[in-house]
Amino acid sequence: MSPLLTLRYLLEYAALRLVVGVIRLFPLDMAGDLLAWTTKKLAPGGRRHKKALANLAVAFPDKSEEERNAIAMAMWDNIGRVIAESAHIDRLIAQPERIRMADDVYKRYVGKMGTVVAASLHMGNWELAIWPVVLVKSRKIAAVYRLVKNPYVDNFIRKMRSSLYP
């Protein structure tokens, strides 16, 4: 890795650590509201918002531009909340009463499950989809995800998720 790229990666990592540190200063609900508001204010000016709108136009040609924009804004709200929850993930799973799951379905299958492969939608906080399985201590858990190009950031994110993948 070139010295310039290393410097760039270290600066990105430092910025991420700073942002996560600030997010963790706020209670989870307040952090979620703040990040949802922030992403909804900042994202519409970027290329990803334009890409989201283009994809929504393909997926929902019958919806109006206003309806597609509302869907995109709800997406940014969700992403802001996921960022806040991810920064608080260790605290969040320490409060199991905050997480809602279909107990009857979970209890029906928990004792019968052998090896399981599960997939999670990017809805709500997809990081937490594995959490009910974490409660069953005898299960070995693994995840497949796309590596972040920045190895320092990737390592930091994996450490933040480590309480979900013991």
The count of domains in the chain is 1
Residue 61 has pLDDT above 80, yes or no: yes
In a domain, 131, yes or no: yes
pLDDT digits 0-9 by tens, 94-129: 887 776 766 666 666 666 666 767 677 766 777 777
In a domain, 112, yes or no: yes
Give Rg (Cα) of the chain: 18
Q: CA-CA distances (angstroms) from residue 163 to 47, 58, 76, 83, 91?
A: 33, 38, 26, 16, 10
Does this model's pTM top 0.85?
no
What integer is the mean pLDDT of 158-165? 83
DSSP helix/strand/coil, 115? coil
In a domain, 166, yes or no: no
What's the domain range around 40?
A: 3-161
In a domain, 108, yes or no: yes
In a domain, 31, yes or no: yes
